[in-house]
Amino acid sequence: MRALWAGMRAYVGEAWTAWNRFWFEPEDPATLSLLRLLAGALLLYTHFIWSFDLAGFLGFEGYLPPPYLRDLQRLGPEASGPPWHVWSLFYWIKPAWLLWTVHLAALAVFLLLTIGLFSRTAAVLAYLLAVSYAQRVTPGAFFGLDKINCMLSMYLMLGPCGARYSVDRLWSLRKGGRADPPPTTSANLAIRLIQVHLCVIYLFTGLAKLSGTTWQAGTAVWWAVANYEYQSLDLTWLAGWPTLVALLTHVTVFWELSYCFLVWNRLARPLVLWMAVAVHGGIALGLGMLTFGGAMILANMAFLEPATVRRWVDPIAARITLALVGTDAKA
């Protein structure tokens, strides 16, 4: 009995140690910093697009005015103010000049996040602004891209996203800062949360597909590529290859369902991530969803090891650092 109890204690102790190491072991911020650079650029571009019809989508008297949203959410026409169960800065903005002022300020924040200037503050503001935009356009123009924007910006503000590949880093070097940013617990925590969030997304997406008749029949891929509303490449030749269509359909479901299990295995991870590139790259190129496909590929980069990121990005960053700071210290 003592041996059994001792074995159980050892097992629980090892599990607890592994849990703490998974979440709280200090990690090089290279992966998080690269995600900040790319996610910031994505936020800047996708929110800049609102500028072409800002008053229509975000204006107080636009396509979805707040009074209409109150009625839509069944709060009653007599309710005043915004629908309180959601939050958006744009519910309180009425004058067009103020709307444009806030919009331009938001674009400036997204630019600061991209280049990594005042990174931690910019990350917090970027998250609040991304949520404001997403909540304001709900339900008229709220898509998966907006969800991924909000997810990435939320986790970026939890870690030192400007530790590398940023203006903050260049300033630190000019002031004689450390040549190599130290590993931190918050960098690991932020990356782990993105990784786990992705696993949840893919698992529930796969489970939802299981209940779809076209996914069960193996024809879902065909109905997607044959839809002229989204079609950017003519893939209707797949009509002559029903077996291939069925294979692509079922492989997609299997990949989404198994993602949360296989991506943690070092041997299976490259295959899982390249499959993500294939699936989301196909969505981007074949269905015209370039930003959404790019956002999902970007999110999957959270599984890249910091050493891999540094091997790819550090040579470029070092040249920029040398040109701007006059030192060959690692960026």
* pLDDT tens digits for range 130-171: 999 998 887 777 788 999 999 999 999 999 999 999 999 999
Query: pLDDT-derived band of residue 328, with 50, 70 and 90 as boundaries?
Result: low
Sorted by where each begins, the domain ranges of the chain are: 25-162+170-325
Residue 326 predicted with pLDDT over 90 = no
pLDDT tens digits for 271-286? Answer: 999 999 999 999 998 8
Query: pLDDT-derived band of residue 25, with 50, 70 and 90 as boundaries?
Result: very high
231: left (phi > 0), else alpha (psi -120 to 50), else beta? beta
The proportion of the chain whose per-residue pLDDT surpasses 70, expressed as a percent, equals: 92
pLDDT of residue 325: 66
Angle at 126 between CA 122 and CA 128, to 5 degrees: 125
Residues in contact with 151: Cβ distance below 8 Å, sequence separation at least 6, in sequence order:
194, 197, 299
pLDDT of residue 243: 94
> Which DSSP symbol is given to 180?
S
Q: How far, in Å, CA of 169 to CA of 175, rounded? A: 10
Amino acid occupying residue 91: Y
Query: pLDDT-derived band of residue 227, with 50, 70 and 90 as boundaries?
Result: confident
pTM of the model: 0.90
Instruction: Please provide the average confidence, as pLDDT, over all residues in the chain.
Output: 89
